Amino acid sequence: MPQSVRFGYTMMTEQAGPRDLVDHVVAAERAGFDFSVTSDHYFPWLAEQGHSPYAWSVLGAAAQATSTIPLMTYVTCPTVRYHPAVVAQKAATMQLLSEGRFRLGLGSGENLNEHVVGTGWPAPATRLAMLSEAVDIIRALFAGGDVTHHGEHYDVENARLWDLPDEPPPIGIAVSGPLSCRLAGEQADLVVATEPRSELLDAFDRHGGGGKPRVGQLPVCYDPDRDAAVARAHEQFRWALNPWTVNAELRGPTGFAAATANTGPEQVAGTIPCGDDPAEFVRAVQRFVDAGFTEIALVQVGGDHQFAFLDWARDTLLPALRAR
């Protein structure tokens, strides 16, 4: 693999409590991961995952508990549950707490998390328009001074960030289709995706993304017992086999359970590398590299199985990835 490829660790808030998540990223830093990312959910995808603490509190604690590993939201939705002016304040504070190690990953969100505030779930094109306006507001606040904005979707009245970092956090935008790729190319400092599809990056480049970082994410399920790994991946991560057109719309874990009722363990194992053969994990990562991604964040499935994975990653997986 190219020497420029970086390998990251995911603090998945859907599968561990807040103190455990911080312990996990401390261990990931010690294991030698190049960066970390954090999901930002109000609900888990499936009830079996069992968690969903407030990501921004976890990030603040992680910033203090670590010293070198970069931190990133993967991703925050700044449109419904959060107002973009508040997201700007949170991100600026995180950049200060982490001493410049933070990146703000943004996306158009999922009904799973955003429905809780009771304002309804907009259509896809509207969600992207809201995201675009939100990014404009966030960048205006990062620039300093008073910001007043009366737009199509948001009002901001005499807002100002009183604690600003010298360098604002870079903004990443998640993509899954042509419209989001255009938005990311025009407005983002980096692109975020969960599928190794080169056409997403090509579209990002066409709209101004050339030369910018591109961050992918890959679920994995390490366990010396492959059958146990497959069973756990099926129990907790079968939702990931749904297309994002489905995942963005379902309202709660029961909906995801119903949508995946016919998804079998071997179907999951065909997408998520399971077991302890590093070659299988390397092949899965290689698909992202071949598609053009420069950074790949790994998600170890199972909140109670992080430390064993991190030890194995330190001793076996990361050396195998970097040797390749």
Catalytic residues: 41, 110
DSSP state of 169: P
User: Residue 198 has which token pair?
Assistant: 């080169």
Pairing of strands 155-159, 147-150: antiparallel
Instruction: Name the residue among 109, 111, 97 with its Cα closest to residue 66.
Output: 97
* Torsion angle in degrees (nearest 10) through CA of 48, 176, 317, 76: -60
Residue 157: strand, helix, or coil: strand
In b/e form, how buried is each residue of 136-154, taking b as 16+ CB within 10 angstroms?
Answer: bbbebbbeeeebebeeebb
Q: Greatest CA separation found in the chain? A: 58
By the 8 A CB rule, do 178 and 203 touch? yes
Give the residue among 298, 297, 296, 129 at the shortest CA–CA distance from 222. Answer: 298
Backbone torsions φ then ψ of 10, nearest 5 degrees = -105, 120
The two tokens of residue 222 are: 């390490």
> What is the DSSP-derived secondary structure letter of residue 303?
G
C-alpha of 273 from chain center: 19
Structure tokens at 173: 């935008």
Torsion from C-alpha of 82, 85, 90, 93, nearest 10 degrees: 180
How many residues are recorded in the chain? 324
